[in-house]
Amino acid sequence: MTFLNPIFLLGLFAAAIPILLHLLNLRKLKTVEFSTLRFLKEIQRSTIRRVRIRQWLLLLLRTLLIVFLVFAFSRPALRGSVASAIGASARTTMVFLVDDSPSMSIRNEGGEIFGQVKGSAIQMSRLMRDGDEAYVIPLSQIRHKESFEMVRSPGDLQKALADCALSEERVTYRDALDAAAKVFFSSKNLNQELFLFTDGQASEFVVSSKPEDSSALFSDRVRLFLVSAGKNEENWGIASILPRTQIVVERKPVRLDVTVANEGENPVREGLLSVFLGGSRVVQKTLDILPGAETTVDVSILPQEGGYLHGSVEIDEDKFEGDNRRYFVLHVPKQIRVLIVGPRQNTDLIGLSLSAENDSTRKSLIESKAITEETLSATELGKYEVVILSGVGKFSQTDSDRLEQFVRTGGAIILFPGEGSSIDNYNASLFDATGIPPVAAPPPAVQGDRSSFLSFGRVDFDHPLFEGLFEKPVKDEQGRKFDSPKIFRKINISPTSQGRSLIRLADGSEFLTEYVHGKGRILLCAVAANLDWSDLPVKGIFLPIIYRGSIYLSASEHSTESYIVGQEIHTQSRIANTSAGFVLRSPSGIEEKIVPRFSAATGVATFVSIPSSEVGIYELISQEEGMVLDAVAVNIAPEEGEIRMATGEEESALWKRVGLDIERVTHITPEQNIEQRLAEARFGTELWKIFVLLALLCALIEMVVGRTAKHQETEVSA
């Protein structure tokens, strides 16, 4: 037996009141016999015996009356078919978890899966009774709502279920079960029924290895009804798009790795894959993929203009259209602003390198400005994507902090030491702030001594900075040809795991190292950008370090990350006017006003949106200028394309993970008689009405017995 309001059981102490009153009324009387009344002795004894029996009966009835009333208020309930024959059906809390993810759009011989399970849900809603509570929770709404409205009538429940529609968002069943558990926790009803309407996709039943995802979410009162209409289907789709080219400029090839997976049991023969850029088809290929396998296709596209270019990869149609198209954004810089800081003898050659590829027929890609270190503190760093520090003597604490914030928020630095550079100051200020290990100063220079020098020992040819610049030999990768400069003097950069070694010298020390700090990068070179320490400026590798390095580093500010529907969109942009209005425009044209968090030190504004809800390209727009500040691609979760039904073992593993006994799980398909299956599985009977009737019966009997007893006591006393 279960008590739904157990606090009222404390009222059982009141059952002792009639007993106490009975004991207090007992008095021991002295017997005085009269000779004239002795003949009545036998009659009185029999009468008093009957009176005492009635008094004990009254005591029992009054005690039971209190006990039955206490039990009625505590709402006792029994489970099982026997209980159903003697009591009223217990109130029920019903939670309808409706999987509205993209994979539910698949059609089989029964029609669209989502339509089938929604029809089953509407049938089940007819079993709702007066006093029952129901909640409809579409899975796509779990991230967007803190609570869900309760409905109390079958009509309202049917309307809520009919309003459910397919979405492009995926929510794990583990999160959905959490939401249902919160509803049941606040419910006092004996019967608690959880309905999960699903296509039975195996990827939804994957058990997490996180310890916090293992807990007993449900009590013994909860039964789960799993309504599934899915079946194993043939499907192939686009799993991911990854850019291989990190230095992107107009009219230069950009390579993409497109991964396509075949989740079916039959091979894909001559499947058509197309790449679109700016609405035009630019690549078309055919694919053959074995069952259960995936292939990565290397495609090359040629952007003809700058800006944020919208792209997509598409394949032939199949039963599941959700993964037949995947979006991407290609950011082609229109202009990169570079600030050069240092003495003129250390910045002239850098300025020439940045203008080396200028084309008189169009606007220069890189716009540079040179300043001295004395004016650095008065320069607004937020106007630039890259800062080149060449031969700076030392950094003030203010300049060091500003440069650290600049890099942490997405800016980039290329650093060359110089003759007047205080390496101790570098170590204690900028290097310490950005996580660069300390370096050692060069030994004193010997005037005119260039008899000994160092050359390159190893070059990371796979780094984007050098991609395609050197001829790759057939056998020996280290045999690639390049003209190494002669290094006469350098700072000593020790090898470390904290940075990526791009060029290492023959003595094992680093020549060019890349460090990541926050969202930005730093390139640290061991020599000065002049002819005093080496002949680097007159070698062919100097131009890639300066020109390509500026393009490569500036790209770190513009994320090519693809978001999943349901995630918040995080983006940053360097803006001059913080009072301008900003909106995030969705693929369907819905505009969300968005207020940035602005850093005056770096000129970077950070934008965070509400969770995304559509597939496609989202654009961050400045309303004042009508300009696109950033753009990101949002796609469905790749797991949605894994069309395979979960096995019984996979389902059981999830139920065990959340503390739900397999005996309390009932499987239902839309083809079955839904109402009959549900009625067979329901259980739980409340007995409070029976106890109310028993209390009334005790009260009536007590009235009759009490009146009779009083009449007989009067006769005896007479």
- In tens, the pLDDT along 238-266 reads 999 998 888 898 889 999 999 999 988 89
More confident residue, 706 or 93: 93
User: Tell me, what's the pLDDT at 382?
Assistant: 83
Q: Is 634 left (phi over 0), alpha (psi -120 to 50) or beta?
A: beta
pLDDT digits over 41-73, tens only? 555 556 666 767 777 787 787 888 888 888 888
Per-residue pLDDT, 35: 52
Position 516 pLDDT exceeds 50: yes
Is residue 287 within 8 Å of residue 299, measured between CB atoms? no
Distance CA 438, CA 453 (A): 23
Mean pLDDT (the chain, rounded):
84
Residues 388-398, mean pLDDT to the nearest whole number = 94
| Banded pLDDT at 131 (limits 50, 70, 90) | confident
pLDDT for residue 114: 93
Which one has a higher pLDDT value, 188 or 118?
118
CB neighbour list of residue 366: distance below 8 Å, 6 or more residues apart? 335, 336, 337, 338, 354, 355, 547, 550, 551
Pick left, alpha or beta for residue 635 (phi over 0 → left; psi -120 to 50 → alpha; otherwise beta): beta
Q: How far apart are CA 575 and CA 599, in angstroms?
A: 10
Q: Is the dihedral of CA 700, 702, 704, 707 positive or negative?
A: negative
pLDDT range class, residue 680, cuts 50, 70, 90: low
In this structure, are residues 603 and 576 in contact, taking their beta carbons and an 8 Å threshold?
yes
pLDDT band at 698 (very low <50, low <70, confident <90, very high): confident
Q: pLDDT grade, residue 476 (50/70/90)? A: very low
Looking at per-residue pLDDT, the higher value among 478 and 180 belongs to 180
Residue 229 and residue 343: Cα distance in Å, rounded? 73
**Phi, psi at 681, each rounded to 5°:** -85, -20
Q: Residue 23: how many CB atoms within 10 A of its CB?
A: 9
Distance CA 301, CA 279 (A): 13
pLDDT at residue 587, rounded to an integer: 95
Q: Of the ranges 26-30, 328-332, 590-594, 666-670, which one carries the lowest mean pLDDT score? A: 26-30
pLDDT of 82: 46
pTM higher than 0.85: no
pLDDT at residue number 85: 47
Which is more confident, 615 or 683?
Answer: 615
- Domains observed in the chain: 2-83+688-717 (no CATH), 91-232+644-683 (3.40.50.410), 236-333 (2.60.40.10), 336-557 (3.40.50.880), 562-635 (2.60.40.10)
d(CA 19, CA 391): 101
Query: Is the CB of residue 136 less than 8 Å from the CB of residue 202?
Result: no
Secondary element (H or E) of residue 116: helix 113-125
User: Which secondary structure element, helix H or strand E, spans residue 570, and what is its range?
Assistant: strand 570-574
- Residue 485 DSSP class: P
Find out whether 346 and 416 touch, Cβ atoms under 8 Å. Answer: yes
Side-chain half-sphere CA neighbours of 582 within 13 A: 25
Average of per-residue pLDDT across 470-483: 53
Residue 583's pLDDT is what?
Answer: 93
Tokens linked to 186: 């606040």
The average pLDDT across 497-516 equals 92
As a whole number of angstroms, the distance between CA 152 and CA 135 comes to 9
What average pLDDT does this structure show over 405-409? 89
pLDDT attached to residue 42: 56
pLDDT recorded at residue 45: 59
Say which range, 129-138, 160-169, 203-212, 428-437, has the weakest mean pLDDT: 203-212
- Quick check: 88 pLDDT over 60? no
Q: What is the pLDDT of residues 581-609, one digit of tens each?
A: 899 999 999 999 998 888 776 677 888 99
Q: What is the pLDDT of residues 297-319, one digit of tens each?
A: 999 999 999 899 999 999 998 88
Label residue 474 by pLDDT band (50, 70, 90). Answer: very low
Q: How far apart are CA 483 and CA 338, in angstroms?
A: 27
| Selection from 195-209, 384-398, 620-634 with the highest mean pLDDT | 384-398
For the chain, the straight-line distance linking the first and the last C-alpha, in angstroms and rounded, comes to: 51
Report d(CA 88, CA 131) in Å as an integer: 12
Least trusted range by pLDDT, from 163-177, 202-216, 526-540: 202-216
